[in-house]
Amino acid sequence: MIPVRGYSGARVAVLGLGRSGLATARALAAGGAEALLWDDSPEARARAEAEGFALFDLTRGNAWENVAALIVSPGIPHLYPEPNRLIARAMAAGVPIDNDIGLFFRSFATPDWDEMDVTPRVVAVTGSNGKSTTTALIHHILQVAGRPTQMAGNIGRGVFDIDPPADGEVVVLELSSYQIELARALTPDIAVFTNLSPDHLDRHGGIGGYFAAKRRLFTEGAPDRAVIGMDEAEGRFLANQIAQGAADDRVIRMSSGQKLDGPGWLVFARKGFLSEWRKGRQVASIDLRDIPGLPGAHNHQNACAAYAAARCLGLAPRLIEDALRSFEGLPHRSQLVGERGGVRFVNDSKATNADSAAKALQAFERIRWIAGGLGKDGGIAALAPHFGAVAKAYLIGHSAREFALQLGDVPHEICETMERAVARAAEEAQPGETVLLAPAAASFDQYKDFEKRGEDFADRVRALIGG
């Protein structure tokens, strides 16, 4: 655990008692603060009491007297689609609003660091798609290199559940827009922006607010190095705002699918080859095409982002290449579950929207596509340019019939359940084809979350192929 610094003897309110809220409460107590805990959910309050925490009703009229700060869990909207009533009352009382990420950055460095040979560092990764894989890949590269490292944030452990860093350790954080937008301190050593596509628009008041939340990590965080994806206008804008000129190598421009030019530090993947250029000269190249844990252009973008971050940390290209080849991928993200008779079975349950499903459809040539669930606005209409790769679609869940109408001439079958979809796709698949779960929809109609959906797919595939 990392104790919270700066609030010893102070009363600090914590709103939201999920994983991050309870971890924050423990860290506040360890740092000598009096944590005042509240959640609208009786079940969440009961879990806090079971841990020995006292509850404090923040709905009371005098609740904000002598409160030094309000720490808000990332899942609680504070401004859009409408102001949260308790957060609004705290602001009216002049109580500063923060979250666990802000507390982490103000508490991470300690006087013990003066005795270390190499100061610990933080790499923070954000973006719309690929940030989990990129975070895990950076962590994996560091492990292969023998560097002490921990991974936390929106993946793995909460930021306050990690151990105090050792000499020379690198903490790799995945940070969502929810986590970045309220943090009052943001000081990563290296920050990574993978890409941007519309998501969480209600929460942020539109695409501009969503981008603004991501942008804070770079413009307010002032990292020593910034790896910026250049495949959308927002990334190009962000790189332009940070860099002092085209040759400023504090900004590493990164892309998948286009060759980047210029005198600066560039990392890009094109036709399956990753290239690093500095000062107008190529310094390294890696063939990504046969790396099983990183299929498709979207994973090549992840590889570029992780490669660039690792280079910022001083790792050699050959060592990074070896680590890329041993990376097995994350569960539910282009995860190869198994193979039978020349047919691959891939679990991309994390593809919960059309944009991420499009990347999955582009990663394979001939696909038996399992899709459906609780569809989002627009359904799968935006995926029409990628339907050519689909040999047949097997539709499940609430939006199965809606998706069927949007498939046009693409062969499809309404299967309703994962059990039937996997059985039918496996029965009809031919050698060289891929049975791909890329739902393009949320999971909540049939599953607790996308992880449970992916686990169901993987379990049924393994039962079928004997893996």
pLDDT per residue over 250-280, tens digit each?
999 999 989 999 999 999 999 999 999 999 9
Question: What is the tens place of the pLDDT at every residue in 194-230?
Answer: 999 888 889 999 999 999 999 999 998 889 999 999 9
| 208 and 260 inside one domain | yes
Pairing of strands 121-126, 149-153: unpaired
| 172 and 214 inside one domain | yes
Residue 47: both structure tokens together: 């879990």
Give me the percent of the chain exceeding a pLDDT of 70.
100
| 47 and 125 inside one domain | no
pLDDT tier at 467, thresholds 50, 70, 90: low
Contact status, residue 318 vs residue 406, Cβ threshold 8 Å: no
Separation between Cα atoms, residue 128 and residue 145, nearest integer Å: 28
| 65 and 143 inside one domain | no
In terms of residue numbers, what domain contains 264? 109-326
Separation between Cα atoms, residue 175 and residue 82, nearest integer Å: 23
| 292 and 170 inside one domain | yes
Residues within the annotated binding site? 127-133
Query: What is the SS3 assignment for 294?
Result: coil
Does 156 score more than 90 pLDDT?
no
- Residue 104 inside a domain? The answer is no
Question: What is the tens place of the pLDDT at every residue in 166-176?
Answer: 999 999 999 99
Separation between Cα atoms, residue 289 and residue 278, nearest integer Å: 23
Of 294, 326, 358, the residue that ends a domain is 326
- Residue 400 inside a domain? The answer is yes
Q: What is the pLDDT of residue 324?
A: 97
Separation between Cα atoms, residue 328 and residue 312, nearest integer Å: 23
Handedness of CA 365, 370, 374, 377 (dihedral sign): positive
**Radius of gyration in angstroms for the set of CA atoms belonging to the chain, rounded to a whole number:** 23
Residues within the annotated binding site for ATP? 127-133
| 180 and 271 inside one domain | yes
Q: What is the pLDDT of residue 278?
A: 97
